[in-house]
Amino acid sequence: MIKYKLGEFVRFVNERREGIITRIIDEETIAVTDDDGFEIPVLASQVTRVHGKSDVVDIEEIKKDVLNQSNKFISTGLFLAITDDKRVGSVVYFYLVNTSSWEVLFTLNTEKNQEYNGECSGILKGNSSIQIFSASLNELDLWPKFHIQCLFYSNGKHEFQKPLLYSDKFKAKDFSGVKKHQSILAKDAWIIQLDSQTPLIDPQKLKESFFRGSDEKIEIQNPGKEIDLHIEKLRDDFHFLSNSEILNIQTDHFKKCLDAAIVHKLQSIIFIHGTGNGTLRTELHKFISKHPQVKTYMDARKEKFGYGATEVFFK
């Protein structure tokens, strides 16, 4: 079983290279992104942890009692906070933050394909936080469903607090807003209040808002019925771009318009990708075939586009 976590800083054993863990590939293999931005698959046994350079939280330190004693009992204030790694933007961390007077006994289980996995459990004091999960933003569609269970305890007399169960499957389109400063973490974070009857989710479109400034408002325009992905329609300088750069621009624009179509609740949308060598068509079909909001897709208006366009229908 791999002993490393996303976001940890590691050094290669047999070569002069180091970087951040940005992906867990399988039980024996991880992916490390170096200072040049290259993601390198490597056996976990071939790297070693560099202490003092990781954003992974020291569990023992954050479990220390930092409860600020007060005459007023605070009965609510349990949050899930999601922060990004400033060094590698694709990694995000999930924290359980307790600003209440309760001592919280918690568990986190994740669910994927109807199989459950115990991630962590513990006791969270008042006015403290603990990291409970980390994930790659690039694999947002593959994130499991989260199940957080909490029991509330306090010495002395107090009102009874019912146990809490929070379950959610995060998707890019489910998020709106920008990050807010979380004082206990001393970081900006997307925040979900768990002990509220109507949890406030502060991010909508996590992928699209991830690198936006804190004061910038997100406006998602209606993409329209047809999207032309030919590179000359997207960039004036396409003559100077490599094939890989062109493909990245086209797929990024496709994903942005697909998300916008879902936000605006369109029944379907047509992507004009052309025939060419079929690479762009293959990439699009590979992506939409696994998308949870896509009902089906097919060649669009063959009399006009032949096999050069795909219509996507949403659930």
156-166 per-position pLDDT tens digit? 787 888 999 99
The whole-number pLDDT of residue 208 equals 52
Of residues 67 and 22, more confidently modeled: 22
**Which of 51-60, 63-72, 270-279 has maximum average pLDDT?**
270-279
pLDDT greater than 50 at residue 56: no
Under 8 Å between Cβ of 91 and 22: yes
The whole-number pLDDT of residue 218 equals 55
At 203, is the pLDDT very low, low, confident or very high (cuts 50, 70, 90)? very low
At 191, is the pLDDT very low, low, confident or very high (cuts 50, 70, 90)? confident
Class of the domain covering 226-314: alpha beta
The answer to whether the predicted template modeling score (pTM) of the entire model surpasses 0.85 is no
pLDDT mean over 64-69: 41
The whole-number pLDDT of residue 176 equals 52
- Is domain 59-65+73-209 in CATH 2.60.40.1600, yes or no? yes
> What sections of the chain are H helices per DSSP?
59-62, 206-209, 231-234, 243-263, 279-288, 302-305
In the chain, where are the structural domains located?
Answer: 9-49, 59-65+73-209, 226-314
**Angle CA 235–238–239, to nearest 5:** 155
Under 8 Å between Cβ of 88 and 156: no
Q: How far apart are CA 308 and CA 315, in angstroms?
A: 24
The whole-number pLDDT of residue 7 equals 81
Alpha-carbon distances of 67 from 75, 100, 101, 124, rounded to whole Å: 14, 9, 8, 10
pLDDT greater than 70 at residue 273: yes
The whole-number pLDDT of residue 75 equals 87
Of residues 196 and 213, more confidently modeled: 196
pLDDT greater than 60 at residue 168: yes
Chain-wide mean pLDDT for the chain? 81
The whole-number pLDDT of residue 153 equals 93
Of residues 41 and 176, more confidently modeled: 41
The per-residue pLDDT for range 40-52, each reduced to its tens digit, is 888 888 888 886 5
By percentage, how much of the chain surpasses pLDDT 90?
27
Identify any residues that bridge with 120 across adjacent strands, giving them in sequence order. 108
At 242, is the pLDDT very low, low, confident or very high (cuts 50, 70, 90)? confident
Report CA torsion sign: 212, 213, 214, 218.
Answer: negative
pLDDT greater than 90 at residue 59: no
